[in-house]
Structure 1
Amino acid sequence: MSVVQFLKSKSFFKQIAIAIIGLLVFVFILKYWLGVSTNHDQKIQVPDLQKMSLADVENKLKEINLDYKVIDSVSFNPNYPKKSVIEQTPEAGGFVKEKRKIYLTLNPSKYRDVSIPDLNGRTKRQAISELRSTGFIIGSDFTYVNDIGKDVVRGLRYKGKILNPQDKLPLNSIIDLVLGDGKGN
């Protein structure tokens, strides 16, 4: 029997029909199984977790059969309570299936600590610029000491305490400058 005759025979067409029917049955069974095993058409609305503590988040998500994972913390935001949720993924109002994870970003408990730069001998303007760029706030009360240089930095203070270079303070701390008065020898 030649190839052309085999392609025209009844047995070839039967085999093709069986293969097509088998493939269709397999696709329908697979579609049904996937619908059942993946909870198709089930959806839970994600609650708004912003400004909630982790204990409150855990309780709220357990009620609706969801889970969470803390993925990050960002710079301290004073508008949010300490260690509360700042961001969440998926966002509030979105839909997920049961036992899915909600990824959370938390507010740290305080500003991060930053090292004090060595500003001794710098001008007032240079010191203010560098301190602001580092993330500190400059106090309005300047202390002047007897020194030959006018408005030259001779020290830094935080709440009356003298600061040394490389000391660490929280970001946004208010630092007062100790400056020369220009009347010294």
Structure 2
Amino acid sequence: MHHDRSDFSDRTERMLQRRAENGWRPAGGPRRPRRTTVPRRPCRIVVGVSGSPASLAALRRAVAEARRCGRPLVALSAWEPPEGEALYCRWPDPRWARHWYEAARTRLADAFEHACGGVPADIDVTLRVERARPGPALLDLAAHPDDLLVLGTRPGLRRGPVRRHVRRHARCPVLTVPLAQPDRADLRALRRLIPTDFGT
């Protein structure tokens, strides 16, 4: 609709023009979207723990990085029913599900005991046990671009499904920690040992 402003004074026209230049809009017109502030959580270090020697090496490195950077550490042990979710849904057994959950929780606690002598008290540590695939569960926890995801790897082996998934979809830096291989000379010396060498 066309508005006839012929009866407006010059002063009123100038006032409306200044308001329009400053972003003012009449009632019912398009409004500027309000800026909403989303509280940011602190950037953290996320490590996957399966109980394997490679994951213990990753856990030790993640603890060291958390101490160095002063970031909170989140250690995840993910589990699924051994027969798979699809088959479990056909014959669910809550008692067995509870058993697998407890096994994953024990595995996570044992990993800290073996790798660090227990859960460190000098850093902020969160232990997470989730019923999910490890790859997506890790990426859900390490979703911020400034997070750090730590994974253990075994030298000489092809990338496993977790590592492939993380490499393909990670939104944050990924630190892979290779499992140190024993020296060949040490292995030869171990092979030559006999029971009496260990004493009684």
Shorter-chain TM-score: which interval? Answer: under 0.3
Alignment TM-score, normalising by the size of structure 2: 0.23
Q: Return the structure number with greater relative CO, CA threshold 8 A, min gap 6.
A: 2
Structure (1/2) with the larger strand percentage: 1
Q: TM-score, normalised by structure 1?
A: 0.24
Give the number of the structure whose alpha-carbon radius of gyration is greater: 1
Structure (1 or 2) with the greater helix fraction: 2
